[in-house]
Structure 1
Amino acid sequence: MTATLTSAGLTWLPSGQAMLAGPLQQLFLECDTALAALAGDTGAEPAEHPVFLAVDDLERINYLASFPHLATFPVTLEESGLPAFAADPVDESGAVRLRGISPVRNVITPAACYHVYVQLRDQRIEGPRYLTFRNTCVRRETEYQPLRRQWSFRMREIVCLGSRAQVKAFLDRYRDLVSGLLIELGLEVSWQIATDPFFQPSRNPAYLAQRLNPTKHEAVFGGDLAIASVNLHEDHFGEAFSISTDEGPVSSGCVAFGLERWLYAITTRYGADPANWPDPVAAAGRVLERHR
């Protein structure tokens, strides 16, 4: 895959990151534009979020205990140790010699939607409320594959906050919209019940709860690659971040898209020649027109 897409603009880094240029970068932008257009169906508010999430905020949802294997941290050095570090910063293997690390108080964004709940913390809202955004997410993996499984990748999300009925209606509608877009693009997927990638899942009550009451469904391409997911959070984030309506903690749900995975799906289906690629923006327009 890497070799065949080099001419289309893919540069693969062994660290598990992809650089995009030329036609592949253009396809990335078109896919994101198409998904943002779907978000416009509800008038979702665009938002921009930072790179880091505070550990204190993630502790509200027990993230580090549930997903320690995925976390990547921004690390800085204590001022007092800088001269010694600068004198001998890298060891014989090419690894940085970390001495005197400052307290780590942030995590690099692992999922784009977490920022929304930090943003709306302690607020009372009139539901339903819809937001959409794109962020670079970072998740450590045991292995990396170009466009399929990366250390850093881009995620587009659409989030709904409101009553459980409003969130459920949002998720049902967006599953239909996403399915319609995938059909327009000629991408065959199967919708499958899924769980989040918990650490030691058999010991995690949240994993067991997802198995007993499925709240996550993924659009799986090629039998093993989730390119979109529809997620019902119930009032988990509303309660953790004190976001409420007149009836109590707000319910929430999100639709999430791994953008590099959409590139993988399209180029696997149509090949590396951009002349054969479909137009995601036009496809999204046709889907929205049918659902009006």
Structure 2
Amino acid sequence: MTGPLMTGERLDALARAGLVWHPTGEAALRGPLLRLADDCDRAFVRLASGWEAQEERHPATLPAELLQRVDYLRSFPHQATFAVAMDGDEANLEAFLSGPVLTGSGAVAPAALAPVRDVLTPAACYHLYRAHEGESLDRPLHLTTRNTCFRREHEYVPLRRLRSFSMREVVCLGTRAETAAFLAALRERVERFCELVGLPVEWANATDPFFRPQRNPKALLQRIAPVKHEAVYGDLAIGSTNDHHDRFGEGFGIDRDGAPAHSACVAFGIERWLFALTDRHGTDPAGWPALPDAAAEAADAAGGRP
């Protein structure tokens, strides 16, 4: 029943369910909606349970130097958000304090900044490649992590397009055949899960949101040989499968059988799932499906570890 992106009536109903929306593009969750978000995350972990993926937790920032090994800043400068701080020189801080501190628009008044070296996490999986840098694998490695991710956008829409949002990712590092099998099997589980929770999705070829894609050879390559597929509810991508080939294995010195490891990931945007589920089943928690139970059934139907 995907209609208008977000009517005032719909936003009021979501507020009663626990959404606090900030026009800066950020959402706070509490009450039933927070519980639904936690159920979503548990369901995604359950879908990946057949691979016994190791859970990891990582900080909110990544070194810019590390991301640039895979050309992130040249490919997505329009979406990058940086962790900045004022230059700690006492004269600089005194000059800042002697001024208005904030401008009339609410922006921080100008001050000299310390060198910018860190990027706020753009996608959760980058931390995993950093964490396993230099490793030599004798079997496929399966990992999962959840992080708050940050993107700059032209506009922000409650639960659909946010400045900061939660992302759960499941990653496989291995040979080309191992990562391909992982993507196929987990995609099948996701399809079965969506059927069980009454959420119609379609898979569509997609490309990453490159800056000036018509000038970026990586964007052209993704159109010719798709490596990204999105699970789309209505017009909203709520998950994706991504085949990185050996890009991260080479960039981070991760080997499998003496060659750069291939990697693949499945990503879930948790707030987007909240939008889809409440759009499909309403904002009354009594009508929401039992997500962890459905995920267990979908995983069991796949017959254990693929």
TM (normalized to structure 2)?
Answer: 0.94
For residue 111 of structure 2, the aligned residue among 88, 99, 119 is 99
Q: 2:272 aligns with which of 250, 261, 267?
A: 261
Q: How far, CA to CA, are the matches of 1:132 and 1:249 in structure 2?
A: 20
| Counterpart secondary structure, 2:178 | helix
1:35 alignment partner in structure 2: 44
In the TM superposition, what is the alpha-carbon distance from 1:290 to its structure 2 partner? Answer: 1.2
Is structure 2 residue 227 aligned with structure 1 residue 215? yes
Do residues 74 (structure 1) and 86 (structure 2) align?
Answer: no
Taking only the aligned residue pairs, the percentage that are identical comes to: 50
Map 1:36-51 onto structure 2 (within 5 A): 36-51=45-60
Partner of 1:234: 245
- Quote the Cα distance in structure 1 between the aligned partners of 2:97 and 2:286: 50
For residues 31-54 of structure 1, what are the alpha-carbon distances to aligned partners after superposition, in whole Å with 9 as ceiling and x for unaligned? 000101112111000001110000
Contact residue 2 and residue 11 of structure 1 kept, 8 A: no
Residue 289 (structure 2) pairs with residue 290 (structure 1): no
Matches within 5 A, 1:5-154: 5-80=14-89, 81-87=92-98, 88-154=100-166
In structure 2, list runs of 5 or more residues that go unmatched: 1-9
Question: Contact conserved, 2:142 with 2:170, CA < 8 A, in 1?
Answer: yes
- Residue equivalent to 1:278: 289
Provide the alpha-carbon RMSD of the alignment: 0.8
Whole-Å separation in 2 of the counterparts to 1:148 and 1:272: 16
The CA distance in 2 between the partners of 1:120 and 1:61, in whole Å, is: 15
Q: Is the 8 A contact 2:49 2:299 kept in 1?
A: no
Residue 239 of structure 2 aligns to a residue whose secondary structure is: strand
Query: The residue matched to 2:147 in structure 1 has which SS?
Result: strand
* CA drift at 1:247: 3.3
Contact 1:77 1:98 in 2 (8 A): no
Aligned residues: 291
| Structure 1: tracts of 5 or more residues without a match | none
**By how many angstroms is 1:127 displaced?**
2.6
- Give the one of 11, 16, 26 matched to 1:2: 11
Structure 1 residue runs of 4 or more that deviate by more than 2 Å after TM superposition:
none
- Local SS of the residue matching 1:25: helix
- The residue matched to 2:113 in structure 1 has which SS? coil
Task: State the alpha-carbon separation in 2 of the partners of residues 40 and 276 from structure 1.
Answer: 27
Cα distance between partner residues in 2 of 1:268 and 1:216: 25
Moved more, 190-199 or 82-91: 82-91
Letter in 1 for 2:148: T
Distance 2:139 2:95 in 1: 55
1:24 & 1:40 partners in 2: Cα distance? 24
Residue 231 of structure 1 aligns to a residue in which SS?
strand
